Amino acid sequence: MPVPWLRLLNALVYAVDCVRVGTSRAIGREDGETKGKDPRSAWWMELEQRRIAFERERMEVERQRVERALRLDRLRLTGDREIGRLRLMAGVAAASLVGALLFSAQLVSTALWARVLLAGAWILLVTALGLSFSGQARVEAALARLDDTTGREALTSGVAGTLVPWLVVGGLALAGIAALAA
């Protein structure tokens, strides 16, 4: 029985033609050539474009929300660090004040200028302690009203926080000078 080569070749050519026509129709649909011919595909395409636009809008809103949360978290961490620094300075000032008060018993019978230096040290240390508490209260109030508009400068303790370390150093220096004089 002979093989029908011509029929097999004809079937193969027909299959290749069918594949070509199918791909060209698919390409035409993607390019929008058949948009006017099939109203269902036009409706579907419009629906898909609206869905994509909605997804983009939702992603943009989510990105803005995440950026806002990161910004607020950075501000909160900045405020927490500033409060921690002020608490450390308050502890150092309180410990130095206690040390200066304990040392004052030895200076009762010494020169007047040594007692004046020690009194100046007490004043500087008490002032540093008060300014530290004032700066902590200011930062706490700024953290309580935290929102988008507050900047890094709003979370600082201001001049009080800047002066506290210098007052502690000055008080310790005066107490040290008074101790050397005794």
Average pLDDT of the residues in 152-170: 85
What pLDDT score does 10 carry? 86
Average pLDDT of the residues in 152-161: 77
The H-assigned helical ranges of the chain are 5-31, 39-104, 112-144, 158-181
The pTM of this model reads 0.65
The CATH number fitting domain 75-181, selected from 3.20.20, 1.20.120, 1.25.10, 1.10.10: 1.20.120
For residue range 53-72, what is the model confidence (pLDDT) as tens digits? 999 999 999 999 999 999 88
Q: What's the distance, Cα to Cα, between the start and end of the chain in Å?
A: 130
Q: Which residue shows structure tokens 């507050």?
A: 150
Instruction: Give residues with Cβ within 8 angstroms of 132, minimum separation 6.
Output: 86, 87, 89, 90, 93, 160, 161, 164
For residue range 81-119, what is the model confidence (pLDDT) as tens digits? 999 999 999 999 999 999 888 888 777 667 888 888 889
| CA quadruple 89, 95, 97, 99: dihedral sign | negative
For residue range 39-56, what is the model confidence (pLDDT) as tens digits? 778 888 888 999 999 999
